[in-house]
Amino acid sequence: MKCIVMNILMVCACLSSCGHSPIFKLEADVHTDEYDGLYIYLTHTGVVSREDDLKVDSALIRNGHFSFEYRVTGEPFVATLALPPKDDHFVYGLPDCYCIVEEGNVTLDYTPLGTQLKGGVLNQQYDNQILAKTREIKKRSNSIVAERDSLGKLRTLSIEEMEAFNQRIGALYKELQPAHICFVSDYIGTEVGAFFFFYYPESYYPEGIYAKLLASVDEEYRHKSELKKEKEKEAAAHWNESVKITEVGYPYRDFTCMDIEGKEVNLSDYIHSGRVTLVDFWASWCVPCVQELPFLKSLYQTYHEEGLDIVSVSLDTKKSAWEAAVKKHQIPWPQISDLKGWKGTITKDYAISAIPFILVIDRKGKIAVRNLHDYKLEEAIKEILSTKN
């Protein structure tokens, strides 16, 4: 695809000379009244990290339509259009999407194949080069999925056949790479270009291309990118170390949080020498966790007198939801939480990536079971309880 090189500095200079503040006007249609009455947010999207996101405006959705009129005071930037989540863990069906905040009138259409932008200089080129190609790929991908599903109704597909279908779909999305690189190359010295450059990891780019483009990125963004990489390396190292030292046979790791009454406690307050402790990581919003509660109650009733204790560690972030769930399900054993959900250190220290998650601590304070469930968990508990030393 031929790259259309735009001189952003000249455009901005022209705008400044016009004697007025540029206005970005967006008219959008979602083609359903499902989201009527909700506010959708226009967020100045962080170039390198979503931690830098800043909400700059909001609009009420009426009759499947919303609009923004935003005064552009600096260079164009990429904005995310998104509904707030329903709560801490569930979202609405309207997908998040990007537009570019620049002077001009822009329309946004939510289509079954993805969003479509019309108008503006940058938005139109973004749609022409990337979004249009994405919609085309989505259409072809849907055909492959329909072919797979149709064949699957006739017979069970083999693993090899499923993999072949997945490879065909994956190959389609690789076709987007040249268009992405072309668009980034056109605007690499701007905030918009830097955003789309950092959107994909270094491994996405062909050899030599990443370094060439990076050299043209604003120094501020390069510095932020290096800091982000360092943080990611540190987090990965911590995770790998946590995996290693929380394997079966290692001593449990203590942590501080609070009980359901709000009192500061430690996990060690519930681990008693000579007894076996099941530590259940769960949350009120986690359906599989709640479904597992009757089984855990059965274990507690059956083996508590033989030496089994249970303590639940909630990944809730709202105390009211946590308290209500404990009361509703009548959980008889101790409940603790730091109310930080996945943002706390507990899940990182135990290398927990999903819940429900179960640990069993033996009589000597060592991890005897890591994430077993159902009958396998019960068999393991019986074996541990039968070992008196």
Q: Tell me: the pLDDT tens digits for 333-373?
A: 999 999 999 999 999 999 999 999 999 999 999 999 999 99
What is the longest distance spanned by two Cα atoms in the chain?
85
Q: What is the pLDDT of residues 198-214, one digit of tens each?
A: 999 999 999 899 999 99
Among residues 60, 290, 100, the alpha carbon closest in space to that of 192 is found at 100
The percent of residues in the chain predicted with pLDDT above 70, rounded, is 94
Decide: 279 and 308 in contact? Cβ < 8 Å: no
CB 35 within 8 A of CB 94: yes
Rounded mean pLDDT of 325-332?
A: 96
User: Phi/psi of residue 50, each to 5°?
Assistant: -70, -10
Average of per-residue pLDDT across 227-247: 93
Ranges of each domain in the chain? 8-231, 256-386
248-284 core/surface letters (b: 16 or more CB in 10 A; e: else): eeeebeebebeebeeeebebeebbeeebbbbbbbbbb
CA nearest 175: which of 211, 220, 230, 130?
130
How far apart (Å, rounded) are the C-alpha atoms in residues 138 and 173? 9
- 256-386 maps to CATH 3.40.30.10: yes
Global pTM?
A: 0.77
pLDDT in tens, 145-186: 999 999 999 999 999 999 999 999 999 999 999 999 999 999
Residues 72-95: what's their mean pLDDT?
87
Q: Where are the alpha helices (DSSP H) in 42-176?
A: 121-126, 132-154, 159-174
Nearest-5° angle of CA 338, CA 341, CA 343? Answer: 100
Place of tokens 């329903």: 86
Q: Is the peptide bond before 288 cis (omega within 30 degrees of 0)?
A: no
Triad 202, 205, 210: Cα angle to 5° = 65
